[in-house]
Amino acid sequence: MTFTRKQTLQIWGVLDLFQLVWYSLHSWRAGRIPYLSDLFGIQALGEQVGAPLISVGLVAWSLQLTIAITAVGFLLTYRPTRYLGMVQIPLRLFFIVPSLSPLLLLAGYLPGLLMLALTIGSETLKAWSLWRRT
């Protein structure tokens, strides 16, 4: 099956949206306000452990922010969004946040190396499809 440029972008937009909803639901279930509680938590943690770890937390939070931006851009089929999607790939690999976001449902049930391998495959597919199909 071959997807058009527009369909390819929209598929990645839906997958980013799925990730945002999944992340938000988990935060609400834990009694936190999605994203905002995380930002305050990073700040509080930084006071205890120092600047190097707070910077990692801020990079992770920034990744979530860029996922929200790409979700909107991809859903609106705004082609330049693909560059931001490609820039996310190293961070998604570092934090093990697969672009094929339904894989997140398996995260607690799979060995870490298998989850890493699936994330690498997910990001390879995304890079290929954004480069070749859009």
pLDDT recorded at residue 2: 85
Which has the closest alpha carbon to 76: 22, 122, 16? 16
pLDDT recorded at residue 44: 84
End-to-end CA distance of the chain: 16
pLDDT recorded at residue 64: 95
Q: Specify the number of domains making up the chain.
A: 1
The runs of H, that is alpha helices, within the chain are 5-29, 36-49, 51-75, 81-95, 112-132
Give the C-alpha separation, 9 to 27, whole Å: 27
Average pLDDT over residues 91-107: 94
Kindly state the percentage of the chain with pLDDT values over 70: 100
pLDDT recorded at residue 42: 86
pLDDT recorded at residue 84: 97
pLDDT recorded at residue 10: 97
Average pLDDT over residues 107-121: 94
Query: Tens digit of pLDDT for each residue in 35-82?
Result: 999 989 888 887 788 778 888 989 999 999 999 999 999 999 999 999
Alpha carbon distances (Å) from 40 to 58, 59, 75 = 11, 14, 30
Q: Is residue 90 pLDDT above 80, yes or no?
A: yes
pLDDT recorded at residue 15: 98
Give the C-alpha separation, 123 to 100, whole Å: 8
**Residue whose entry in the numeric block shows the structure tokens 């945002």:** 20
Range of the domain at 58: 5-132
- CB count within 10 Å of CB 34 equals 16
Q: At a CB cut-off of 8 Å and minimum separation 6, what does 76 contact? A: 13
- Tell me the residue length of the chain: 134
Q: Is residue 109 pLDDT above 80, yes or no?
A: yes
